[in-house]
Amino acid sequence: MAAAAKPTVAARPAAQQQAPRLATRHLGAGATLLASKRGDLSRVHAVIQDGAKLDRPLRVAIVGGGPAGACAAEECAKAGCETYMIERKMDNCKPCGGAIPLCMIDEFDLPSEIIDRKVNRMKMISPSNVEVDIGETLKPTEYIGMTRREILDDFLRKRAEEKGTKVINGLFMGMDQQEGEKGPWTMKINEYDAVNGNEKGMKKTELEVDVVIGADGANSRVAKIIGAGDYDYAIAYQERIAIDDKKMDFYENLAEMYVGDDVSPDFYGWVFPKYDHVGVGTGTVINKPAIKQYQNAIRSRAGDKIEGGKIIKIEAHPIPEHPRPKRIQGRVALVGDAAGYVTKCSGEGIYFAAKSGRMAGEAIAAGSANGQRMVGERDLRKYLSKWDRTYWPTYKVLDILQKVFYRSNAAREAFVEMCSSQYVQRMTFDSYLYKTVVPGNPLDDIKLLFSTIGSILRANALRVTDGPSVTFGKREGQA
């Protein structure tokens, strides 16, 4: 079929107000047109080459409305792209410690009201219940922010919406490219009732976009569709426990981390303070079926400090253990948990999710000249290159630390002893709060090396074994 001088694309009908609106838009130069009929609609499909100038804004769909998706949507909408964010559960309470570094509060302009607690004291508690207080090296203005995910995520989504993002409350079912790799993506969505946000009155909707950002978590459907590959994942399990005011005062600005085979064979257990309760949880990669056993152990280890508390919510969720083999495919990018951006050793993911979403959004904004040109895989890979260049050292260091110190109770005892060093505390907090791998003093590093070796040797000498211990990296079903 011959293309008209100014060809147009008819958008699919909208189901509700927030869904894609009816519009007739002009295609840009460089577009190859194919016509087809679907039902009563005459449909024009466009295959647009990378870099081609558009006569309508670039259309971007973000699947997932957590920190990664919301920050990606904000950047795309701010740049003038026609931006859609698809989120299934608007009040999602992810089982997450909720700790965010100081740099995130400033960098992402987060208001004080979403911070439940400002933690400037931590206790590291060894398998033999040796406690080490951490935080002496912090400046008066430095702290770790504790937040609830439903509060943080809602704030970031609303800010993206204020910038022009169209938020679709619905379940993402799948997507396909009917015109090949340079053609548009057709998103299939089960859109929820606009008033009640539930499945009553749910309507199947289709949305056609140019670019897709997968921010849909560890079980990402977007990742599966592009063949991004599998990864190991942990199960995180958390109970929100309401305790009395006196016990809550103890956790005013204090967080606790417990290590030991009893609370996790390859991670740690935590008690983190929130607004009116504490989050008590643990996680594991290598023995997921025993997660409730480990949860019972962390409650037992916390003991009197949470005794008599009422469990107000139980949460469980998969957490990725390393980046996926593939994070970019054509005009699709993965960010946050969908990409595998959770650190070893600490299990931190909120900051890295938000940062990866922002970086992907910035790459799309730059590559599209603020929504005026078609982007391609080369543009999206600029986000990936910047991400790996900036954060790969952090992930590598934490991976090594986990392999060294979480492999046995003896190593965990050494780890907690090492944390008593003010030098270690300063290096750790500087790296965590400001998200950089801080270069150390060579002489102090040598002293620390010998001190750590000594700690491990002493712990091994005192160790009593009743049987083989679990070592890091062993998989389920392995002999």
- pTM, to two decimals: 0.84
Interval 179-199 mean pLDDT: 83
With 90 as the cut, is the pLDDT of residue 10 above it? no
Given this model, what pLDDT does residue 239 score? 96
Query: Which tops the pLDDT comparison, 240 or 424?
Result: 240
Phi then psi dihedrals of residue 170, to 5 deg: -170, 175
Residue keyed to tokens 């709060």: 433
Report pLDDT for 54: 96
Place of tokens 């929504």: 371
Which residues 6+ apart lie within 8 Å of 136 measured at CB?
Answer: 422, 425
Cα–Cα dist 402/379, whole Å: 34
Characterize 263-282 residue by residue with b for buried, 16 or more Cβ atoms within 10 angstroms of its Cβ, and e for exposed.
bbbbbbbbbbbbeebbbbbb
**pLDDT reported for residue 332:** 98
Q: What is the pLDDT of residue 24?
A: 32
| Residue bearing the bigger pLDDT, 424 or 15 | 424
- Using 50, 70 and 90 to split pLDDT, how confident is the model at 466? very low
Question: 273: closest CA among 256, 258, 259?
Answer: 256
**Tens digits of per-residue pLDDT, 259-269?**
999 999 999 99
- In order, the DSSP letters of 105-132 are HHHTT--GGG--EEE-EEEEE-TT--EE
Q: What is the pLDDT of residues 299-308, one digit of tens each?
A: 999 999 999 9
Helix (H) or strand (E) holding 457: helix 442-462
What percent of the chain lies above the pLDDT cut of 70?
80
Residues 68, 353 contacting (CB under 8 angstroms)? yes
Q: Give the other-Cβ count within 10 Å of 409's Cβ.
A: 23
pLDDT in tens, 38-51: 333 333 357 999 99
pLDDT at 437: 59
User: Does the structure show a pLDDT above 50 at 403?
Assistant: yes
> Are the beta carbons of 30 and 48 closer than 8 angstroms?
yes
Q: Tell me the average pLDDT across 128-155.
A: 94
Q: Give per-residue pLDDT as tens, 88-132.
A: 988 877 667 899 999 999 999 999 999 999 999 999 999 999 999
At 26 the pLDDT is: 36
Per-residue pLDDT band at 398 (split at 50, 70, 90) = confident
Helix axes 409-418, 442-462, angle to 10 degrees: 140
* Encoded tokens for 324: 């996926």
Q: What are the residue ranges of helices labelled H in 219-313?
A: 221-225, 245-250, 291-302
Give the whole-angstrom CA distance, residue 312 versus residue 238: 11
- C-alpha to C-alpha distance for 354 and 298, rounded to whole angstroms: 29
**Strand pairing of 121-125 and 254-258?**
parallel
Per residue in 154-175, pLDDT tens?
999 999 999 999 999 999 999 9
